[in-house]
Structure 1
Amino acid sequence: MTRQIKPAATAALGLAIAFSGIASADTVLRASHQFPGGQGDVRDEMVQMMARHVAEADVGLSIQVYPGQSLFKANEQWGALVRGRLDLTLLPLDYASGRHPEFSATLMPGLVRNHEHAKRLNDSEYMAMIHSVIEEGGARVLADTWLSGGFASSEQCITSPDTVRGQNIRAAGPAFEQMLQAAGASIASMPSSEVYTAMQTGVLEAANTSSMSFISFRLYEQVECLTEPGDFALWFMYEPVLISDQVWQGLNEEQQAALMEAGKAAEEFFAAEAAAIDEKMVEVYRENGVEVVSMSEEDYNAWLELAQETSYKNFAENVPNGQAIIDAALAVE
């Protein structure tokens, strides 16, 4: 009796394995980011676009997107990525400056003047130096993106350096924190996904963040005044799409090529949307009764002078190759 059952069991097991093989034919990459999903945030749209592009390439690869910190918290993503626990992320790179202080050069006050300047930086020696640190750390860049941003406050409009004095402010990274602290602000460090609650509970009175985050995290519900990027954008942040190098090495050439093509398409999509995000932010904030102001050239120059005495100086003195990174960025007209 046992001998009669065994062949049937073996056949059933073989059939199960065959079906399992069909079901798992694709290599599935998990992509994590901190931004709201399905609500028009261009960063989520970039990653979703890459997932569609890779699926259409039909190379045995798919991307499952986990928005809104549903897989990893914002500050956990770099560590998870380089250890191979996470496959893909869209990450504000300065969040990882605690591990790689060179990344603070990707959120340096006044380093990027406008969206066109950001595009030129992407093809420069400066960006090659940043990419090199990323690769040494265990990741690869699939798409380069820069977001402009500004200030918002529940207390008073932030224009010149004296207007932040006494305010508790979130600044996004060490370079801005050093500059703002020198201007008399109190600093609270947190990812942009936590700013709304911090303002709601009184932990923060003001914040720096990107124009897209000002919209998608609905910060207009907590502030009285917004300082838009305008003609003098002090705040630009590099937020690339990254893949774990461990994961990259495990893919075949067709899959790698499909990811690179997907990254290029997403980068081009973002570049076309970037300037419109700033306009949309101003529109949304005015619709919600928030005062919108701009920095004057005099305000901007005062901030830049303060940044050079603090952020730039500290970076050049304390970060490996810091002066060379700054010089390479400033060399881009």
Structure 2
Amino acid sequence: MLHPSSTLAAATALLIALFSTANAETTLRASHQFPGGQGDVRDEMVQLMAKEVEAAGVDLKIQIYPGQSLFKAQEQWPALVRGRLDMTALPLDYASGRHPEFSATLMPGLVRSHERAQRLNDSEFMDMIKEVINDAGVRVLADAWLAGGFVSNVRCITSPDTVEGQTLRAAGPAFDEMLAEAGASIASMPSSEIYTAMQTGVLDGANTSSGSFVSYRIYEQASCLTAPGDNALWFMYEPILISEQSWSRLNEEQQKALTEAGEKAEAYFAGEAASLDQELVDVYKENGVEVVTMTPENYQAWLDIAKQSSYKTFAENVPNGQALIDAALAVE
């Protein structure tokens, strides 16, 4: 017969073993600004990754906090760098105040099409951008380039003269400068605030991604949409990122599972990218919004203004600015 103390010791050891097993699972906190569970492709990419790593059986879980429920849009990059946040789906140009090179990932006319965006992913240009990301203590798990356009409740935005006198939101410094050069007033804010700003008259219009135009229901405040079409002036890099501090705490199996999940999320996005633009057009037409696209002449007129303003400023003031532009333009 076991002595009571032996029984107690055995029970205690069993509890410790069970507690250790229960706590062996690593949980990564993923924050983003986009609506959760409403079909936003960036949320869906993170959701897909969460399912993939759980299915891999490597004691890894991704807990998702959508809709700025953990960190505000502009707080995510610094939280990631400091290791206070594990993962995010982030419009990279939001961090251009700290790393001005990132404005190259929302440079007017630099991408133009989804096909070219795919080619950019494997270019010297993206190698240069990712070097800045890595040096800051962050790594990319999945690439994503979203096309976008313009909305307005004053007049359709096509040629540069159509923005004159309108107060517009642009997503980053390069678009801000180009629009201001064309005669627009600028109000800066995350895409999550466009709806309220247009509703209250702070904005006349805005540019953002096809995904955000739909998931934030901006069609309720717009009278005209300039869809990406064949001459998309607006493309933005919005990758899924992980803090290097968080990455280094994972074991080799967990890192492998997360890398593979990122590859699947990137492939999923690549398959969805063009259909996002069509969904945008369909949803806006269904809601009575006029839909137009830019002609090649409109596109070139904007590009001419951009090269005199935002391209010039970027080349002169940003480390490796001209080299980044040249590397992007070298991609066929």
Q: TM-score of the superposition, structure 1-length normalised?
A: 0.96
Which residue is equivalent to 2:91?
92
CA distance in 1, matches of 2:75, 2:242: 15
Aligned-residue offset at 1:62:
1.1
SS in 2 for 1:149: strand
- What amino acid sits opposite 1:320 in the alignment? P
Equivalence for 1:329: 328
Displacement over 3 Å in runs of 4+? 4-19
Counterpart in the other structure of 1:186: 185
Residue ranges of structure 1 left out of the alignment (5+ in a row): none
Post-superposition Cα deviations, 1:286-324, rounded to whole Å, max 9, x if no partner, equal 000000011111111110000000010000000001000
**Cα drift, residue 17 of structure 1:** 3.4
Q: Equivalents in 2 of 1:311, 1:253: separation in Å?
A: 43
Residue 38 of structure 1 is matched in structure 2 by 37
Aligned to 1:25: 24
Partner in structure 1 of residue 218 of structure 2: 219
Amino acid at match of 2:46: V
Alpha-carbon distance in structure 2 between the residues aligned to 1:290 and 1:124: 38
Deviations 1:230-250 (A, max 9, x none): 111000000000000011111
Determine the C-alpha separation between the residues in 2 that align with 1:6 and 1:190.
65
Q: Give the structure 1 partner of residue 242 of structure 2.
A: 243
Any residues of structure 2 matched to 1:58-207 within 5 Å, and which? 58-207=57-206
What is the deviation of 1:10?
6.8
Q: CA deviation at 1:278?
A: 0.3
Distance 1:319 1:7 in 2: 70
1:22, distance to aligned residue in structure 2 (A): 2.5
SS in 2 for 1:190: coil
Inter-partner Cα distance in structure 2 for 1:88 and 1:226: 32
CA distance in 2, matches of 1:32, 1:178: 29
Question: Deviation at 1:12?
Answer: 6.6
Q: Deviations over 1:116-142 (max 9, x none)?
A: 000000000000000000000110000
Distance 2:8 2:114 in 1: 64
Deviation readout 1:182-204 (Å, 9 max, x if unpaired): 11111111110111111111111
Deviations 1:222-275 (A, max 9, x none): 010000001110000000000000111111111111111000000000000000
Q: Which amino acid aligns with 2:147?
A: S
Secondary structure at the aligned position of 1:156 is classed as coil
Partner deviation per Cα, 1:162-186 (whole Å, 9 max, x = no partner) = 1111111100000000000111111
Secondary structure in 2 aligned to 1:236? strand
Letter in 1 for 2:288: G
Distance 1:7 1:225, change over 3 A: same
Deviations 1:5-53 (A, max 9, x none): 9988877765553333232221110111110011111111100000111
| Cα distance in structure 2, aligned partners of 1:111 and 1:79 | 27
Return 59-68 or 108-117, whichever deviates more: 59-68
Which string of whole-angstrom CA distances, capped at 9 and with x for unpartnered residues, describes residues 80-123 of structure 1? 00100000101000000000000000000000020000000000
Distance across 2 between alignment mates of 1:148 and 1:6: 68
Which letter does structure 2 place at the counterpart of 1:113? Answer: R
Question: For 1:184, what is the secondary structure of its paired residue?
Answer: coil
* Offset of residue 61 of structure 1: 1.0
> SS in structure 2 opposite 1:89?
strand
Partner of 1:261: 260
Deviation at 1:60, TM superposition (A): 1.6
User: Which letter maps to 2:74?
Assistant: N
Q: Any unmatched runs of 5+ in structure 2?
A: none
Look up the match of 2:298: 299
1:263-302 aligned within 5 A: 263-302=262-301
Question: How far apart in 2 are the matches of 1:311 and 1:142?
Answer: 29
Structure-2 separation of matches of 1:74 and 1:5: 57
The letter for the 1-side match of 2:240 is: V
Q: Given residue 187 of structure 1, which amino acid in structure 2 is its aligned partner?
A: I
Aligned residues: 330
Cα distance in 2 for partners of 1:197, 1:12 equals 59
TM-score w.r.t. the length of structure 2 is: 0.96
Partner of 1:234: 233
Rounded Cα–Cα distance in structure 2 between residues aligned with 1:180 and 1:125: 28
Counterpart position of 1:312: 311
